[in-house]
Amino acid sequence: MPIREPIKQLGKSTAVYGLGSVLNKVAAVLLIPIYTHYLTLSDVGILALLEMVEILMLTVVPLGMNNALWRNLPSKGKLGKRRMIFTAFVGTLVVNFILLGLIGFNHRFPAPFLGLEDNQSYLLLLVLTNVFFTFGFRFLLSLLQYEGKAGSYIIFSLSQFVGVLLVTVYLVALRGTELQGVLMAKVIVSAPIFLVASIAIFIKYISWPSPAEYVRLLRFGLPFVLFTLVMPVLSFSDRYFLKSFNIELTDIGIYYIAYKFGMIINMILVMPLQRGWIPMMYKMGIGEKSRQYLRDIMFYFSTVGVFLFMVISFFSEELIGVFAGQEYLVGSPIISVVAFAYLINGFRQFFMAGTVLTDKTIWLTLSSVSGMVINLVLNYFLIRKFGIWGAAWATLISYTLLSGLVYIISQNFVRLDWAWKRVFALFSITAIMFAGVIFLQAEFTDVRQIISLSGLVTFVILLRLTGIIGKKEITGVKSLFQRVRLPSLHRNL
């Protein structure tokens, strides 16, 4: 039988509104050959540290406004929506200008902690400038998603994607601007997009901002800052510890490239699904039918996720060999650990339903703080002893503990049946196949690609024979892909 309508809609939303996240991450992967051929290993290490700052700031600067708007806009009339949206945009823009301005004014202070010489501290200013511009762009994307303007959403996303690729190649490969060019490219692209986004928001939503309403939005949204901050802290704080423990910048560069490939599962599955899932979660609520949909969606995520995990793991050496080069090949085993960490983290977006839909977001804050503290402690001890391998394992352990904590908390508010028996069977077969293929690859290195392909085919056959994947799931997936079509642009502009 065909897959149910809410899951079809999720697939469509994920395909369209996850596009921005996917393109952003794809650009980062496609630029790896530029980084590895035109930057030194030390510069790649510095880029990793600067990216840590950028991601952390991009997580903080929205101040949870997107979640607050998704939650409160449905109850407002037309004028109320205009006022709320404009209040959220202008208020957050002012806060960001002050916050980023203060950091920029004192940019020389944090520069040494990022491996920057005094004459390189201006690079941090480029990062902060890009963060400010990118906020406006992402705020507009969120509004376009809310209004169902898929065509405009796609055009803006593609503009940023193509722009960053072309300008980076021009500045770094053709003009030889090295690390400065990588950062300048982002600013050059994000500035005009920010200007267009701001003009569009002012024209459509201009009204008198309400400080009282902005405070109400902050009260709901700020707990989400800590919740969303978990991922960048768990993903990038390890680089600070690597630098603090005097790990060579060349090793940090190797780890950075391996980490990029490990994040593929995050870029093409977890983040796009999150873009489509969270708005739908608010609309569906927590009724009996919604609980069944929630369980099914999580299982589909699990199935696709473990398959992607094995593809990335089995072909890790080939990925690095093609995109980065032989000097980065030593980091290929790290890819599997990072990929599995992001797969586990993907479950968190489902588990949080019990707290979000009962307005218990304070518990998300507490769980997030706990997760970040655990990660910082693990990073300190594991990196100190095991270097870049300790960083990878700290990421996996932290995401596992955090997802488990969110699950336990949410179950206390809304007890959901997740059909764990089926999920456990899926992961058991995955573990057996993964261990077998990795062992055979080590024993028969000359035919590792054949072993990898055979392992993937065998995995799919086992899922079918054991009944973990049945006719319902096969028919459902076919239906899902048949319904996921990029909409006609002229109908959505």
Measuring CA to CA, how many Å separate 300 from each of 12, 162, 207, 291, 371? Answer: 15, 31, 43, 14, 26
Report the candidate in 282, 256, 324, 331 with the shortest Cα–Cα distance to residue 51: 256
What would the two tokens of residue 154 be? 């796609």
* The pLDDT of residue 293: 76
The amino acid present at 52, given as its one-letter code, is M
Show the domain range for 207.
5-491
Would you give the DSSP letter of residue 76?
S
SS percent in the chain: helix, strand, coil, step 5: 85, 0, 15
Return the structure tokens found at 387: 């270097």
Greatest CA separation for the chain: 69
- Give the model's pLDDT for residue 161: 85
Residue 352 CA to residue 185 CA, distance in Å, equals 37
Exposure string over 356-372, b if 16+ CB within 10 A, otherwise e: bbeebbebbbebbebbb
Tokens of 262: 């490990």
Distance CA 298, CA 347 (A): 7
Cβ-proximal residues to 106 (8 Å cutoff; 6+ apart), any chain: none
Q: Which residues contact 257 (CB under 8 A, 6 or more apart)?
A: 32, 35, 36, 44, 320, 324, 328, 331
* CA-based radius of gyration for the chain: 22
User: pLDDT value at position 230?
Assistant: 74
Torsion of CA 287, 290, 294, 297, to 10 degrees: 180
Q: How many domains does the chain have?
A: 1
Task: Give the Cα separation of 211 and 214 in Å (integer).
Answer: 5
Instruction: Say how far apart CA 10 and CA 74 lie, in whole Å.
Output: 19
pTM above 0.85, yes or no: no
Q: Is 119 exposed, middle or buried (0-12, 13-18, 19+ CB in 10 A)?
A: exposed
What backbone torsions phi and psi does residue 488 show, to the nearest 5 degrees? -65, 130
| Torsional sign, CA 64, 65, 70, 71 | positive
What is the per-residue pLDDT for 198?
93
Beta carbons of 122 and 108 less than 8 angstroms apart = no
**Separation of first and last alpha carbons in the chain:** 35
pLDDT of residue 487: 40
Q: What is the 3-state secondary structure (H, E, C) of 267-288?
A: HHHHHHHHHHHHHHHHHHCCCH
**CA distances (Å), origin 381, targets 338, 367, 385, 387:** 18, 21, 6, 10
Print pLDDT tens along the chain (493 aa).
Answer: 444 555 555 555 555 555 566 666 677 778 888 888 898 888 888 888 888 888 888 888 888 888 888 778 878 888 888 999 999 999 999 999 999 999 888 888 888 877 778 888 899 999 999 999 999 888 988 888 777 777 788 888 888 888 999 999 999 999 999 899 999 999 999 999 999 999 999 999 999 999 999 999 988 888 777 767 777 777 778 888 888 888 888 888 889 889 989 988 888 888 777 776 666 676 666 666 667 777 888 888 899 899 999 999 999 999 888 888 788 888 899 999 999 999 999 998 888 877 766 767 677 778 878 888 999 999 999 999 999 999 999 999 999 999 999 898 888 887 878 888 889 999 999 999 999 999 999 888 888 899 999 999 999 899 888 888 777 666 655 544 444 444 443 333 3
| Structure tokens belonging to residue 430 | 């995955």
Residue 466 DSSP one-character state: T
User: What is the number of other CB atoms lying within 10 angstroms of the CB of residue 404?
Assistant: 16
